[in-house]
Amino acid sequence: MPQLFNVVTPQEAWLRLEPHLSPIGRVETVPARDALGRVLAKDIAAPSDLPPFPRSAMDGYAVRAEDAYGASEGLPAYLRVVGEIAMGVPAGIGLASGEAALIHTGGMLPKNADAVVMIENTRDIDASTIEVTRPVAKGENVIQVGEDVEKDEMLLTSGSLIRPQDIGGLLALGITEVPVFQRVRVALISTGDELVPPEEEPRLGQIRNTNAYTLASLALRIGAVPLRLGIVKDNHEALRQAAVRGMREADIVVISAGSSMSTRDMTADVINSLGRPGVLVHGVSLKPGKPTILASVDGKPLFGLPGNPGSAMITFELFVTPCIYRLGGCRQLPRRTELQARLTRNIPSATGREDYVVVKLEERGGELYAEPIFGKSNLLFPLIKADGIAQVPLDRSGLESGEMVLVKVF
Amino acid sequence: MPQLFNVVTPQEAWLRLEPHLSPIGRVETVPARDALGRVLAKDIAAPSDLPPFPRSAMDGYAVRAEDAYGASEGLPAYLRVVGEIAMGVPAGIGLASGEAALIHTGGMLPKNADAVVMIENTRDIDASTIEVTRPVAKGENVIQVGEDVEKDEMLLTSGSLIRPQDIGGLLALGITEVPVFQRVRVALISTGDELVPPEEEPRLGQIRNTNAYTLASLALRIGAVPLRLGIVKDNHEALRQAAVRGMREADIVVISAGSSMSTRDMTADVINSLGRPGVLVHGVSLKPGKPTILASVDGKPLFGLPGNPGSAMITFELFVTPCIYRLGGCRQLPRRTELQARLTRNIPSATGREDYVVVKLEERGGELYAEPIFGKSNLLFPLIKADGIAQVPLDRSGLESGEMVLVKVF
């Protein structure tokens, strides 16, 4: 007999799970140069000023601004060139009144200089004299000590996802190692008496297990460590053993269940047998993805995802992905690639249900169109033909051809 | 004396480089399960039908549709249940007229059955009899042989970037290994007498090398292999030796040059000394990033990027990133995360120049705002404080506060 679902909205489902989620908080230290995509585990303040000395922002002449006061094409200021600032060494020169030093971008300003005249605003008169044809303000074309970042200024806060430029910033200050949260481990269990591993030739009635690999790739892509625990038979004890192993070895357990009601109920029973509080949500007003299970046992989240490829992928992205970020200590979910596109066909739906339809994106005449790919959610290939997913909101009874929709690129 | 740039637009710059780019074309075979983000090196067609047998899309009863013709709540059809289809084995049963078999989602349809009645539309009468209360069409709730994908149908074409669902699709058909293009190797050379490695304590006048690490991370993020060749001194022979090594070990050579005119000219001279055609573009109407060099020698692209962190990052993304995809055999650049946001301040610019301004994104009252972070392009920390880059198009003399702008998230 069909179990009566207590169906909740996707948002409500998340709100029921969320209070049970807490960051794993295990910290490890990695070289800053290899920290791309990792989550910073502590606030980092600048240990020193950057730059630590005044630098020229231009090629030109270091001067005392007052010496070029009022300079113009018609009435240039004449300055004596007392040397050239070599790169990478202290500017040995100090400027007296009326003196200038040739300087390159990034060079250290000599003592008493307070501005740089761009080379374009100078003319050579002889080997040791230049004309300055424009005045320069005090500090112009100079990067002051601490102008990039000041000592003790907050650089990056705990929970940031480390980007290429953040690595540059850390290294600029000599921070060559950073504490990051350990990667979140996600155990993936596939159930189904009909499943065989992909490398096996299925016999009549059997089908290759693919969800574990698609979901593992989704986890990997956002920096988690997938642990594929293989295929377990459709029986309570086998699934329970696999789930216990998942709880022991991973931070999140995902059971990609068979889609039949019996296996769904078994997944819920097994989860409830593991500990408290157990199943929090069993059934979400979502298409595809209705029979999704969200659960928590002893502080670890568990998910029972429907076995259909489309349902598994969409529910993973809706619930497991934010859970991975949360457990990984990531303060803010990175923005997904989302695009506005014009629907080419009606998408029927029902009010009170969030529908996801895979779409193909096409650019025609400079405009982006989303062509829905309809098909049973049991099918895998619509996901491959598609470029993304369009969402029909909960409160809409469908979307109309010609409407603009938000497409999450996948 | 300042070299006179022959400045071209960013688009023109790319068009001058593009004819010199050709995919590296080296192929290697990898397990399909590990192929995430790799570029497929040949077209892949389905070796067999999927599914290879008719499967039930629902939990219910496999029937002959004609036996439930006209069934209704008031006048149900009575069917004899002759068994249950076990998962993962051939359906041993064949249905005679008036017979049904219990079937689960994914189960193999028994012989002579042509439809599945959802369990919700049936009632048990006794141990071996059900009532069907709704008619069912031939083929309803059945996934036909080859419905997901037909034998010889094209699955994925050469040049596709492999996504999680593509891995699922390959494995579903037993394709456990795939030919992919080798990763593109990008040599990164930093020049500047003022540069020291990040782990060294800079002396007065020195600064830590960071561009090589930021650019390496940008390359890594899109699946390339960065080779950091270290810091070379600002002299022709040292740079030439490093460039020759880069040409030998990598597919693309990026020289993150000092920003002074002398080092820029030296980079161009060195590149021209390596072979033909040499420098194709020296100067792009871009801010920041004007002194960018695009070159090709003996079929390999070389880039001279300005040393300022912001310029280096922006010009890398504009020119080196698409070059990596092109050499990597990727047919279509993946879509970047781009968002529309409302500008909070004017951005001044000049017509005939493409300006990039880093912005911080803020959500206020459900709307997204882009706050420009102004600052010298020599600075690194504006890039760290920012969430993305807004572009002022070539034909605009600036953008106004309140305008909607396209922000590339970085």
Structural domains of chain A ordered from first start: 27-49+151-181 (3.90.105.10), 55-143 (2.170.190.11), 185-327 (3.40.980.10), 338-409 (2.40.340.10)
Check: CB of residue B14 under 8 Å from CB of residue B315: no
**Contacting residues for A126 by C-beta, under 8 A, at least 6 apart:** none
Q: Is B205 on the interface with A (CB under 8 A)?
A: yes
What was the pLDDT predicted at A5?
58
List Cα–Cα distances, A349 to A14, A391, A398, B214, in angstroms.
Answer: 22, 10, 4, 46
Strands B77-84 and B99-103: parallel
Which B residues in the span 361-400 are in contact with A, Cβ-Cβ below 8 Å? 376, 378-381, 383-384
B240 sits in which H/E element = helix B236-249
Phi and psi at A22, nearest 5°, equal -140, 145
What residue type is B141 in one-letter code? Answer: N
Query: pTM here?
Result: 0.94
What was the pLDDT predicted at B5?
58
Check: CB of residue A260 under 8 Å from CB of residue A248: no
Check: CB of residue B132 under 8 Å from CB of residue B61: yes
Single out the residue of A228, A410, A209 nearest to residue A313, CA to CA: A410
Calpha distance B8→B12 (Å, rounded): 6
Q: Report CB contact under 8 Å: A105, B169.
A: no
Phi and psi at B246, nearest 5°, equal -60, -45
Q: Is A406 on the interface with B (CB under 8 A)?
A: no
What was the pLDDT predicted at A350?
84
Calpha distance B300→B294 (Å, rounded): 11
Average pLDDT score, chain B? 94
Of A127-141, B156-170, B389-403, the poorest mean pLDDT is in B389-403
Of B195-199, B223-227, B346-350, the poorest mean pLDDT is in B346-350
**Contacting residues for B27 by C-beta, under 8 A, at least 6 apart:** B41, B179, B180, B181, B182
Virtual torsion, Cα A96, A97, A103, A105, nearest 10 deg: 120
pLDDT band of residue B257 (cuts 50, 70, 90) is confident
List Cα–Cα distances, A195 to A189, A209, A258, B172, in angstroms.
Answer: 12, 5, 9, 11
What residue type is A164 in one-letter code? Answer: P
pLDDT tens, position by position, B132-159: 999 999 999 999 999 999 999 999 999 9
What was the pLDDT predicted at A259?
64
Which A residues in the span 122-161 are in contact with B, Cβ-Cβ below 8 Å? 143, 147-149, 155-156
Residue with token string 């000590």 = A145
Calpha distance A157→A40 (Å, rounded): 7
Full pLDDT tens readout for chain A, 410 residues: 334 457 999 999 999 999 999 999 999 999 999 999 999 999 999 999 999 999 999 999 999 999 999 999 999 999 999 999 999 999 888 999 999 999 999 999 999 999 999 999 999 999 899 999 999 999 999 999 999 999 999 999 999 999 999 999 999 999 999 999 999 999 999 999 999 999 999 999 999 999 999 999 999 999 999 999 999 998 999 999 999 999 999 999 999 976 667 777 899 999 999 999 999 999 999 999 999 999 999 999 999 999 889 999 999 999 999 999 999 999 988 888 888 899 999 998 888 889 999 999 999 998 999 999 988 878 999 999 999 999 988 888 899 999 999 999 98
B355 sits in which H/E element = strand B354-364
Calpha distance B220→B226 (Å, rounded): 6
Calpha distance B15→B279 (Å, rounded): 14
Q: Is B261 on the interface with A (CB under 8 A)?
A: yes
Strands A55-56 and A177-181: unpaired
What residue type is B376 in one-letter code? Answer: K
Q: Report CB contact under 8 Å: B171, A210.
A: yes
Burial of A401 per CB tally in 10 Å (0-12, 13-18, 19+): exposed
Contacts of A410 in chain B (CB under 8 A): 163-165
Contacts of A201 in chain B (CB under 8 A): 174
In this structure, what DSSP letter does residue B85 have? P
Establish whether the linkage from the previous residue to B277 is cis, with ω within 30° of 0.
yes
**Contacting residues for B154 by C-beta, under 8 A, at least 6 apart:** B43, B44, B45
Q: What percent of chain B has pLDDT over 70?
A: 98
Calpha distance A158→A210 (Å, rounded): 36
Per-residue pLDDT for B220 more than 50?
A: yes
Greatest Cα-to-Cα distance within chain A, rounded to the nearest angstrom: 100
As given in the structure block, the two tokens for residue A405 are 């929709």
Calpha distance A110→A90 (Å, rounded): 8
Count of residues for chain B? 410
What was the pLDDT predicted at B1?
32
Phi and psi at B264, nearest 5°, equal -65, -45
